[in-house]
Chain A
Amino acid sequence: MHSTRSRLAAAAMLAFLAWGSAGCGGQQGIAGSTWNDPHPLPTDTMTVPTPEIGRHGGRFVISQTSGPRTFNHIMANETSSADVVDRMYVGFTELDYATDRIYPLLAKSWETSPDGTTWTWHLRRGACFSDGHPITSEDVLFNFELAYDEKLHPSIQDLLKVDGKEFEVSAPDSYTVVMKIPRPYALMVPAVGALKIMPKHRLEAAYRSGDFASAFNVATAPESIVVSGPFVLKEYVAGEKTVLTRNPYWFGVDAKGQRMPYLDEVIYLIVPDQEAASLKFQTGEVDAIDNVKPSDYSTYIDGQKKGNYTLYDLGPGMSTNFFWVNLNTVKEPKPGKKVGAPYTDPVRYSWFTRREFRQALSKAIDREAMIRSVFFGDAVKNWSTATPGNKTWYTPEAAGLDYDPEGAKALIAGMGWRDRDGDGIVEDELGRTVSFTMKTNGDNVARVALANFVRDDLSKIGIRCTPVPLDFNTLITNLRQDFQYESILLGLSSAVPPDPMMGQNVWKSSGLTHYWNVGQKKPGTEAEARIDALVADNVATLDLEARRRGWREIQEIVNREGYFIWLPTIVVKLPVRNKFGNLQPSVLPHRLLWNIDRVFVKEGGTPA
C-alpha cells in the first residue's frame, strides 16, 4: 500500500518536473535565505501583491484562545479552526483586505455570459496540492459535490445556491469549469471563492464510505493532510500548539519570481487565558496578539519601545453592538399560543410595535458619553452592519437617530405617556408603568457595561430598563427558539468579503437572524416588505452602484423604523513585533494572518 503510493507520488513528480521546465524554471534561494526551493515553479504562477520583496526564513508566533478542532475546511465551523485552515486551503478567488478587491487565485481568470447566468472559470495550469498532485477541474467538481451533500450539509451550501437551487457545474476539460445559475447572482465571485479546494485524490474514499466529516481531523497524521493553500500542517499538539510550514508546491510567487510564502513556520500557541497571552507577548514568546481590550490600549502604547513592537491602529472594527425590542409573533400553531400572538407580554408588545417608542429609545442614548466611558474613547458611532470600517459598503448618509433627549421626551409625551405618580418613570396612556428588561450575554463584559449604560440613559427619559446578563446558550435559546425576552443587546460581526448581502438573513423577513421578528412567512409590515424586495433585487444585481443605492435604502428603513438601536463600534488596535515586513493588519478576520503568506522577517530581525 505504502510503496504503491510513494511510487505514484514519484511518477506524479516526474511528470510535474517535465512540465515545470516549460515555466519559469527553479529559483535558487537568495542571500540570507535559509531555504532553497526544491521544486520548479508551475506554468501559471500567481504573482502575489507584495508591498516589499521579502526573504525566506523565520517564523511568526501568535496565540489562540483555543485550538483548531479539525483541519477539514468544509467541516470547520468556528473561528479557532478557521484561523488555521484558512491558511491551508485556497479557492478560486480571494479578497485583498488592503484594497477591498477580489483577486484571482486558483482561477486564473473567468468570463460571464451577457445575461450573467453562465460563468466560465479557467484554472491555473500547474497549480499543485502540497503532495505535488495537480489541482484540476476534477477536484473542483468533487468539492461542489461535498458542498451540496445533503447529509453533510456544510454551512457553505447556502451561499452556493440561487433561489434555493444548486449551480449546474460542469468541467469541459481539466482546466475549465462552467457554472450555470438561474439568474444573475451578485455574490457569485465571493461565494465561489469561499469554497476552498480540498484534494479529491485523498478524500474521495473517505467520502464514499461516509467518513468525510471525520477526515482530516486533528488526530490525522500531518503528512497525510494534503492542502491547496500556501501553508501545510507540520505539527499539531493537542492543547499546546499548531505549527504550519510552507507548501513546497504553492503556486504563489513575488514580483521577483521567488516562491511564497517567505516564512518557514507559522505557530499558533494555545493560550486560553487573555492575561497569560498578554504576558507571553511581553516576554517575547508570542509575536502578536489578535484581541486586545480598549482598556489595555494605553498599556500597550507605553511598552512599544521597550518591547520593540507597534500597536497598530486599524480604525473602526467590523463588529457591531445594538439592541432591539421583541416584535416576534407566533408563526406555527402551538398549544396555548395563537398564530399571530406576540411572544412577549402583550402590553409591552403594544409599546414595542410603536415606531415613536423605538425612535425615542434611539434618541435617548448618549453615544458620545458611551464611547468615552465604556470604550475609553476608542470607538466610533455606527448605524449599520456595514461599519465605518467597511471600505465598500459604509454609508454615512444612512445614519440613525442620534442623542436628542428632548426629542425623545417629546416623542414619549406625544404618545400620551407621562409620569402620573411622580416616581420618575412614565406611565402609558392606560396608566401602566413603562419598563422592560434587556438581556445580554454575561460573559461579555463590554456588552454588560453597554446594557448598564442604556439603563441609565433610558431612565433619563422616564423609561425603566433592567439589564439581565445571561449565559450565552440561554440567550441564544431565548433569541431563537422560545422568544422569551423583552429586548436583547447583542452584536454581529462581518463576513468575508464584508458584503452586506452575505448577511442577508438579518434583513430578509424570513431570515433566521432577522432578530426582531424571526422567520416570517410573509413580511408583517410594509417597511419589511420593502426591505425584502430590496434584498431580492440586490442579490440579483451585478452593478455595484445600483447595489449600493439599494443597500442605502435598506439601512435608511431599518434606522427610521428603529428595528435596531445602534450602539458604538470599537476601534481595533493590535500589537505586533517590529521585525516583520509586509504586515498589513486589517479589521477583517483574520486580522493579522490574512496575508501571512507574504509576511517576512526583516534584515536584522532574528530569523528564528
Chain B
Amino acid sequence: MRTFILRRVLQAIPLLVGISALTFLLLQLAPGDFLNTMAENPGISVESIEAMRTRFGLDRPWYVQYGLYLKNLVFHLDFGQSFSRHQPVFAVLREGLLNTLLLAVSAAVVTWGLAVPLGVWAAVRQYSWVDKGLSLLAFLWLSIPEVLSGLLLLFFAAKTGLFPVGGMRSLGWDSLDPLGKALDLLHHLALPALVVGMIPLAGRMRQMRANLLDVLRLDYVTTARAKGLDERTVVFKHAVRNAINPLITLFGFTLGALVSGSFVAEIIFSWPGLGRITLDALLTQDQYLVMGSVLMASVVLVAGNLVADILLAVADPRIAYD
C-alpha cells in the first residue's frame, strides 16, 4: 500500500510539470500581458510600461521565464509573485484554496448524502412513482445551469430572509462565540454547497440506482433472500456494499469536478475561494497567479483520485495494491 501511494505521488510529478508547461504556453499564446490594462490609462507613459515590463521579467523570452519559474518552484517551492498584489502567489492562494475546499467538501457531502440513499430508494422501488419522480427531478436539476440555480437561490434568500445573500460570514462574525461562528458559517455555506453539490447529483443517483439493480439480480442476492433474510438486510448489508464500489472510484473525479464547479458558485455567492482569484488573475493576465491556482486545482484532483483508490481498497477487501 505504501509503495502504491509513493508510486502515485511520483507519477503525479511529470503530470504537474506537463500541466504547468501547458498553462504557461497557453498564457503566452494569449494576446497581451499583465501590463495591457495599465496601458489603457492615458496618464501612463510608454516608458513606465516598459520599466514595469522589465521589473516583472516579461521582456524575456517565454522559455527563459518558464525555466526560471520551474527552477524556483522545484528548488525553493516558490510559486512566484503576483504582479497585481505584490505578494507571493502561495500567500494569495492559500486562504482561497481552503475556502474552496470547504465548499467542495460540503458539496460532496450534499452529493453523496443525497445520491446514495435516493439511488437506493429508486432501485428498490424500480418503476414506481418514487423512481420516476426522482428521475424527473434529477434531470430537471441537471438541465438548469449552475448560474441560474445559483441566482434563483440567491433571490430566494433575499425574498424570504431565510438565508444570507452570499458571503461567507456575517459582518458581526468576530463578536460571536465559537458555536455562533460555526453556525453562521454553516448558514452561509448551505446555499452554495447545495448549488455545487446538486451538479453531479443526478448522475451519481442514477449510477447508484443502476449499480444496485445489477447487484440485486445476482445469484447471491437470490440466495440471501432464499435463506429467509429480511429485505432490509439483503439490500443494505449485502447488495449496497457491493453496488457502491464504482461510486467510490468516482469520488476522486467528482472532487475535482466539485472544485471546478464551485468556481461559478463562488462568484455568484461572493464566496472568497480560489475561483474568483483565478478569474481575476486570468482577466488581468497575472500569469504566476494563474499558474499557481491551476497547479493547486490539479493537486486537488490528483489527491482526490488517490483518496478514491485508497477508499476503494478499504471498502473492498478483494482489492489490494502491492
A506 to B48 alpha-carbon distance, docked (Å):
16
**Interface check A77, CB cutoff 8 A:** yes
**B38 to nearest A CB, angstroms?**
6
B43 touches A279 (CB 8 A): no
A158 touches B273 (CB 8 A): no
> Which stretch of B91-99, B133-141, B247-255 is in the interface?
B91-99
- Identify 18 residue pairs between A and B in the complex whose beta-carbon atoms are under 8 Å apart, listed by A's number: A61-B171, A69-B82, A70-B86, A75-B86, A152-B55, A155-B41, A159-B43, A218-B85, A219-B91, A238-B96, A239-B95, A275-B268, A276-B165, A279-B165, A478-B31, A503-B42, A505-B43, A511-B42
A239 to B168 alpha-carbon distance, docked (Å):
9
**A493 to nearest B CB, angstroms?**
9
Kindly report which residue of chain A lies nearest to residue B33, judged by CB atoms: A473
Binary B-proximity of A478-497 (CB < 8 A = 1, otherwise 0) = 10110000000000100100
A476 touches B42 (CB 8 A): no
Binary B-proximity of A58-91 (CB < 8 A = 1, otherwise 0) = 0001000010011010010110000000000000
Given known contacts A240-B167, A241-B171, A473-B30, A270 and B270 CB-to-CB distance under 8 angstroms: yes
A473 to B28 alpha-carbon distance, docked (Å):
12
Kindly report which residue of chain A lies nearest to residue B96, judged by CB atoms: A239
* Complex contacts, B41 vs chain A, CB 8 Å: 155, 513
* Complex contacts, B46 vs chain A, CB 8 Å: 512, 519
**Interface check A157, CB cutoff 8 A:** yes
A151 to B124 alpha-carbon distance, docked (Å):
71
**Interface check A266, CB cutoff 8 A:** no
B151 touches A275 (CB 8 A): yes
Q: Which of A267-299 contact B (CB under 8 A)?
A: 267, 269-273, 275-276, 279-280, 282-283, 285
A270 to B272 alpha-carbon distance, docked (Å):
9
**Interface check B169, CB cutoff 8 A:** yes
**B312 to nearest A CB, angstroms?**
35
Partner of A153, one of B48, B171, B271: B48
Q: Which of B117-175 contact A (CB under 8 A)?
A: 151, 154-155, 157-158, 161, 164-169, 171
Kindly report which residue of chain A lies nearest to residue B51, judged by CB atoms: A153
Number of B residues near A (Cβ < 8 Å) is 57
**Interface check B322, CB cutoff 8 A:** no
Q: Which of A273, A511, A513 has most chain B Cβ within 10 Å?
A: A273
* Complex contacts, B267 vs chain A, CB 8 Å: 272-273
* Complex contacts, B277 vs chain A, CB 8 Å: 239
Partner of B273, one of A155, A239, A474, A506: A239
Binary A-proximity of B26-47 (CB < 8 A = 1, otherwise 0) = 0000111000111111111111
B: residues with CB less than 8 A from A are 30-32, 36-49, 51-52, 55, 81-82, 84-87, 91-92, 95-96, 99, 151, 154-155, 157-158, 161, 164-169, 171, 267-273, 276-277, 280, 283-285
**Interface check A502, CB cutoff 8 A:** yes
**Interface check A350, CB cutoff 8 A:** no
**A237 to nearest B CB, angstroms?**
7
A285 touches B165 (CB 8 A): yes
* Complex contacts, A154 vs chain B, CB 8 Å: 48
A66 to B41 alpha-carbon distance, docked (Å):
19
A213 to B84 alpha-carbon distance, docked (Å):
10
A: residues with CB less than 8 A from B are 61, 66, 69-70, 72, 75, 77-78, 150-155, 157-159, 213-214, 217-219, 237-241, 267, 269-273, 275-276, 279-280, 282-283, 285, 471-474, 476-478, 480-481, 492, 495, 502-506, 511-513, 519
Q: Which of B43, B168, B272 has most chain A Cβ within 10 Å?
A: B43
A329 to B213 alpha-carbon distance, docked (Å):
72
Kindly report which residue of chain B lies nearest to residue A270, judged by CB atoms: B270
**B166 to nearest A CB, angstroms?**
5
Given contacts A214-B86, A269-B167, 15 further A-B contacts (CB under 8 A): A69-B85, A70-B85, A77-B38, A153-B55, A155-B43, A158-B45, A219-B87, A240-B169, A267-B171, A275-B151, A276-B151, A276-B270, A476-B37, A481-B32, A513-B42
Given known contacts A155-B38, A270-B270, A273-B270, A239 and B171 CB-to-CB distance under 8 angstroms: no
Q: Which of A153, A218, A283 has most chain B Cβ within 10 Å?
A: A153
A512 touches B86 (CB 8 A): no
Partner of A283, one of B42, B151, B161: B161
* Complex contacts, B92 vs chain A, CB 8 Å: 238
A495 to B283 alpha-carbon distance, docked (Å):
23
A438 to B32 alpha-carbon distance, docked (Å):
20
Kindly report which residue of chain B lies nearest to residue A506, judged by CB atoms: B42
A279 touches B96 (CB 8 A): no
A477 touches B36 (CB 8 A): yes
**A74 to nearest B CB, angstroms?**
11
A147 to B40 alpha-carbon distance, docked (Å):
20
* Complex contacts, B43 vs chain A, CB 8 Å: 155, 158-159, 495, 502-503, 505
* The 9 A-B residue pairs with the shortest CB-CB distance in the complex, in nearest-first order: A239-B272, A153-B51, A477-B31, A503-B42, A473-B32, A279-B158, A513-B42, A477-B32, A476-B36
